[in-house]
């Protein structure tokens, strides 16, 4: 994956925006629609003000309308400083309100992505020589990399380089916890059976799992390399995607507010789909000689 061709740069950015707004909206709208007008465990900014009026029925209508307008201007590349700051603020309020109800989805990154983009547009406002096309993406990649690196550093601080071996010993508990949660939620015994099968596979391939855990920690600790160039970013995106799929398969856990933005900003699959369709259309419509 070499550097982007200039004529494709705008298409690349548009695909990033559409993909991220779609993923972000799914998470945020779900939080808004499912929220009650209560804030039993205030955390973060909800300790200063609960924002409960926004989560009554009339408040939700106003909130969703504000989200829709800000998203519309963002996608149209209009009033970008205002739209990204508004989206960052509303996102932070909604996510914090969700966490103040005891539900923790690790979705804080979504708000930070809006804020990172706003920094790029603010810098461009005061310096027209600022490379906006690069840094409105690069700042987001840096935020995502920081999240993965902090996860790796926390593992290192917790157990040092023995973390893979220690975690492999405790992995059966984490595996069964994810599948048991779905069993108690849906009452389907198939979840428990799958959990037992995965734990059995771990016991047969303990060394392989330990190596995979070590590779995942190294991947997180070296994630800063994805900042260097688009090609390396794509490679790290593919590797991190495999890590998330492995976690989903073995522990029935998918941290979607983290995994999906990573796939979007590291790999931008929609862009390659669009380019692929465009090239296919050219081949189909090209006259035969």
**pLDDT value of residue 5:** 44
Structure tokens that stand for 179 in this block: 């599948």
What's the pLDDT at 197?
A: 81
Name the strand (E) or helix (H) holding 215. Answer: helix 206-221
Q: Tell me the residue length of the chain.
A: 289
pLDDT at 287: 58
Residues 6+ apart with CB under 8 A from 116: 139, 140, 142, 143
Is the CA virtual torsion 136, 140, 146, 152 positive or negative? negative
pLDDT by residue (tens digit) across 151-206? Answer: 999 988 888 888 888 777 777 777 777 788 777 777 778 877 877 888 777 777 77
Burial class of 113 by CB neighbour count within 10 A (0 to 12, 13 to 18, 19+): buried
Per-residue confidence (pLDDT) for residue 7, from 0 to 100: 67
CA dihedral 103, 108, 110, 115 (to 10 degrees): 150
pLDDT confidence of residue 285: 67
Q: How far is CA 132 from CA 64, 109, 124, 253, in A?
A: 29, 21, 6, 36
Question: CB 160: neighbour CB atoms within 10 A?
Answer: 9
* Structural element, H or E, at residue 285: helix 269-285
Burial of 117 (C-beta count, 10 Å sphere; 0-12/13-18/19+): buried
- Cα–Cα distance for residue pair 23/27, rounded to 1 Å: 7
pLDDT along the chain (289 residues), means of 10: 59 95 94 88 90 93 96 96 97 94 86 97 95 94 95 87 80 77 76 79 80 91 90 94 90 87 96 86 64
Place of tokens 């029935």: 252
Q: Is residue 19 within 8 Å of residue 264, measured between CB atoms? A: yes
Token reading at 251: 């522990």
Q: What pLDDT was estimated at residue 206?
A: 77
Question: Of 280, 254, 274, 283, nearest to 17 (Cα)?
Answer: 274
- pLDDT value at position 1? 38
pTM for this prediction: 0.87
User: Under a CB-based contact definition with an 8 Å cutoff, are residues 206 and 168 in contact?
Assistant: yes
Look at residue 56 in the predicted model and tell me its pLDDT.
93
How far the first Cα of the chain sits from its last, in Å, is: 32
């Amino acid at each position: 994956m070499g550097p982007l061709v200039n004529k494709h740069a705008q298409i690349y950015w548009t695909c990033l925006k559409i993909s991220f707004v779609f993923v972000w909206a799914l998470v945020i709208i779900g939080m808004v629609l499912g929220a009650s007008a209560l804030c039993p465990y205030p955390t973060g900014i909800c300790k200063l003000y609960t924002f409960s009026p926004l989560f009554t029925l009339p408040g939700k209508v106003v909130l969703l309308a504000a989200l829709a307008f800000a998203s519309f201007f963002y996608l149209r590349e209009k009033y970008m400083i205002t739209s990204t700051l508004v989206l960052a603020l509303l996102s932070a309020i909604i996510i914090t309100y969700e966490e103040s109800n005891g539900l923790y989805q690790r979705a804080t990154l979504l708000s930070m992505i809006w804020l990172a983009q706003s920094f790029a547009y603010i810098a461009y406002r005061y310096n027209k020589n600022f490379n906006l096309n690069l840094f409105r993406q690069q700042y987001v990649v840096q935020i995502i990399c920081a999240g993965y690196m902090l996860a790796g550093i926390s593992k290192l601080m917790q157990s040092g380089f023995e973390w893979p071996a220690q975690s492999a010993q405790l992995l059966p508990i984490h595996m069964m916890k994810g599948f048991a949660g779905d069993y108690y939620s849906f009452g389907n015994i198939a979840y428990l059976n799958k959990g037992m099968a995965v734990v059995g596979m771990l016991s047969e391939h303990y060394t392989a799992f330990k190596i995979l855990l070590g590779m995942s920690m190294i991947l997180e600790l070296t994630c800063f390399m994805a900042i260097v160039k688009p090609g390396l970013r794509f490679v790290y995106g593919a590797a991190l995607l495999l890590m998330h799929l492995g976690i989903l398969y073995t522990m029935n856990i998918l941290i979607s507010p983290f995994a999906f933005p990573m796939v979007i900003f590291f790999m931008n699959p929609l862009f390659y789909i669009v380019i692929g369709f465009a090239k296919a259309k050219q081949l189909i419509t090209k006259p035969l000689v």
